[in-house]
């Protein structure tokens, strides 16, 4: 990018980081205001077509498992802001006709209350921050490392129910948190040793992914409050439009003309993955128990590790893979196992809350 573009990127980085901290604080305030006590267990009727539901959950894992690889490959050709601009724009272009066909565009009527509109803008700001931090992080971190570390968002979301909403964790879930942390340390142990001598680009990327996880957790908390006023699709279309407008001044849409056909297709996948992954996930919940869907989603890092191993066999594949040692493999397995222990149904039988879009990154 030219010098002025780089300056705009640094300026946006500072403003986005400050905004993320600000809106995260207010999202917690809104959440504690509108949800004074733990929510009652929510149940939903399922069709019983478990094989179909399981296949849809697997499809969501495939889509989200491929996403960090696709995003990193596009970032070899495009800057972060242009990628995010196209992600929001393409997702909005796919979702808008669907909503029109179902007559769900009465958004202004549903968001007349000032508090609802304020929460909508805060929700959008948080997801925009999530996209910004995630894209900058995956640019510096391997796809496997990104997928492992972003699992922190799921743990933070579940822990928020304990610390802010008075929900109760079982002993197994607390043990799962400990296993998850041990897995993170084991997976990133070689990188941590390097960072002890000085923070490198990979270390900065890890910090950005953590910020992406925090901003997504705050977004997910706040989005739950909006769902009592409008549908999930209505919330997302507003966010997609605001996200497109937010990244447009910093993006270079004309860069797409210099891309070859495979890269353009990967870029389209990056935009479509948000809608397709969320659609598969939501449909899976209609046919399979939430606890079983959460169990499938907990294996998401293993999909990315497997895809990276597969693509690395091709000589033309230029994305650096995470060096796999017995320690890093064990760490990845522990992260998955820990997340599974935390997200699975508690002893009381209540399934863990599942977000509409795991990590907001796919």
Per-residue pLDDT of the chain (362 residues; tens, 9 = 90+): 444 443 344 444 444 444 444 444 434 333 433 343 343 444 456 667 778 888 988 998 999 999 999 999 999 999 999 999 999 999 999 988 888 877 766 666 666 677 878 888 999 999 999 999 999 999 999 999 999 999 998 888 888 888 877 778 888 889 989 999 999 999 998 888 888 777 789 999 999 999 999 999 999 888 887 877 777 788 888 899 999 999 999 999 999 999 999 999 999 999 999 888 888 887 887 887 777 787 788 888 999 999 999 999 988 888 988 988 899 999 999 999 988 888 764 444 444 455 555 555 55
- Three-state secondary structure readout of 128-151: HHHHHHHHHHHCCCCHHHHHHHHC
Q: What is the DSSP letter of 344?
A: S
For residue 109, the model assigns a pLDDT of 63
For residue 227, the model assigns a pLDDT of 76
Query: What are the residue ranges spanned by the domains of the chain?
Result: 47-356
In sequence order, which residues have a C-beta less than 8 Å from that of residue 178 and are 6 or more positions away?
338
CB-neighbour burial class of residue 3 (10 A; exposed 0-12, middle 13-18, buried 19+): exposed
Cα 107 to Cα 115, 221, 226, 236, distances in angstroms: 14, 20, 12, 11
- Report helix, strand or coil for 200: coil
Please name which of 157, 145, 88, 174 lies closest in space to residue 358, comparing C-alpha atoms. 157
Encoding tokens for residue 38?
């733990």
Q: Which residues of 279-296 are buried (b: 16+ CB within 10 A; e: fewer)?
A: bbbbbbbebbbbbbbbbb
Phi/psi region, residue 166 (left: phi>0; alpha: psi -120 to 50; beta: rest), is left
Please name which of 196, 75, 246 lies closest in space to residue 146, comparing C-alpha atoms. 75
CB 57 within 8 A of CB 296: yes
For residue 274, the model assigns a pLDDT of 83
For residue 161, the model assigns a pLDDT of 80
For residue 225, the model assigns a pLDDT of 79
H-only helix segments in the chain: 3-34, 50-74, 80-101, 107-110, 114-138, 143-150, 152-163, 171-187, 189-195, 201-226, 232-247, 261-287, 290-297, 300-311, 326-343
In sequence order, which residues have a C-beta less than 8 Å from that of residue 236 and are 6 or more positions away?
91, 95, 278, 356
CB 236 within 8 A of CB 161: no
Please name which of 215, 230, 17, 213 lies closest in space to residue 120, comparing C-alpha atoms. 230
**Angle, vertex CA 69, rays to CA 63 and CA 74, nearest 5:** 110
- Predicted TM-score (pTM) of this structure: 0.80
Q: What is the DSSP letter of 66?
A: H
Cα 267 to Cα 32, 87, 242, 250, distances in angstroms: 38, 8, 20, 18
């Amino acid at each position: 990018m030219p010098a002025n573009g780089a300056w705009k990127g640094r300026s946006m980085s500072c403003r986005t980081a400050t905004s993320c901290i600000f809106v995260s604080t207010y999202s917690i305030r809104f959440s504690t205001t509108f949800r004074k006590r733990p929510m009652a267990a929510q149940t939903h009727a399922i069709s019983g077509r478990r094989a179909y539901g399981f296949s849809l959950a697997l499809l969501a894992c495939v889509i989200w498992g491929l996403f960090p690889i696709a995003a990193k490959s596009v970032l070899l050709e495009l800057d972060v802001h242009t990628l995010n601009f196209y992600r929001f724009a393409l997702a909005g272009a796919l979702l808008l006709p669907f909503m029109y066909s179902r007559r769900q565009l009465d958004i202004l009527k549903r968001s007349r209350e000032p508090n609802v509109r304020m929460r909508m803008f805060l929700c959008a700001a948080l997801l925009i921050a999530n996209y910004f931090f995630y894209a900058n992080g995956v640019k510096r971190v391997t796809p496997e490392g990104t997928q492992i570390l972003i699992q922190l968002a799921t743990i933070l979301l579940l822990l928020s129910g304990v610390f802010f909403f008075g929900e109760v964790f079982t002993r197994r879930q607390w043990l799962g948190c400990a296993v998850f942390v041990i897995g993170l340390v084991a997976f990133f142990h070689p990188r941590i040793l390097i960072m002890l001598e000085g923070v490198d680009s990979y270390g900065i990327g890890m910090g950005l992914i953590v910020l992406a996880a925090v901003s997504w957790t705050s977004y997910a908390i706040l989005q739950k409050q909006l769902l009592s006023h409008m549908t999930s699709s209505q919330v997302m279309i507003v966010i997609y439009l605001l996200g497109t407008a937010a990244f447009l001044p910093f993006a270079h849409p004309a860069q797409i003309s210099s891309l070859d056909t495979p890269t353009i297709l990967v870029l389209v996948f990056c935009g479509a993955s948000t809608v397709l992954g969320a659609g598969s996930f939501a449909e899976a919940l209609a046919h399979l128990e939430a606890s079983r869907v959460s169990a499938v989603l907990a294996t998401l890092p293993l999909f990315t590790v497997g895809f990276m191993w597969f693509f690395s066999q091709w000589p033309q594949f230029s994305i650096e893979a995470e060096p796999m040692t017995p320690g890093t493999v064990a760490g990845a397995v522990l992260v998955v196992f820990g997340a599974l222990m935390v997200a699975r149904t508690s002893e009381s039988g209540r399934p863990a809350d599942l977000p509409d879009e795991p990590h907001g990154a796919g």
